[in-house]
Structure 1
Amino acid sequence: MILVTDTASTLPREALDRLCKQAAATLGLSGQAVLGEKPGQTAVLADKSAVHVFLRAADEPDDVLCCVCTTDVDLNGFVADATACVNRISSGQSE
């Protein structure tokens, strides 16, 4: 379920649904791991047009942030900031 979107461009519902499916396919769903023994916390998918970053909240495993970035994103910095953001949102803390 998508609760909130924030985007510079309009994404059709189908594109949002695909993002959710990608997140489930890469991170795991309902406590089930895709690879290894437990569901993933971070996944990155990239192609020549975009970078998709999926981050699971540390304390709320059903809360996932799905981000579509340009290919020139500073991935390490973005992942660090986005991880802090999803954990803050998930815990109900404000900035």
Structure 2
Amino acid sequence: MAIEREKFYECEVKRRRVRAAGGYESFWKVKPITVALEDNDTEFRCMSCGGAVKVFKRRSEDGPATHIEHKLKSDSEYCAAGMYFLKATDGREPRPSASPVR
């Protein structure tokens, strides 16, 4: 029996831009995972809850597409896009991650 896994194909990546007052500031930009990897981005987070995610790259033509999954089950349980949240039947409300990536 195959294990059902959560798969997201877009996430937020950390970028930098020049501030009007000088110097740089960080901001989060939504990108498809494949584009983020092509752009050599290194910091990723869930675009729904801001939680930490793991990147899974496509290893073969027959394998799953490049995607991300929540690192913590607790993030998936309360993220509006998380697999465990979507399967829950207890009427829980979505909330931001308890340990968001900043």
- On whether the aligned pair clears a TM of 0.5, the verdict is no
Larger-gyration structure (1/2): 2
Question: 1 or 2 for the larger relative contact order (CA 8 Å, sep ≥6)?
Answer: 2
Higher strand residue share: 2
What TM-score, normalized to structure 1?
0.29
TM-score (normalizing by structure 2): 0.28
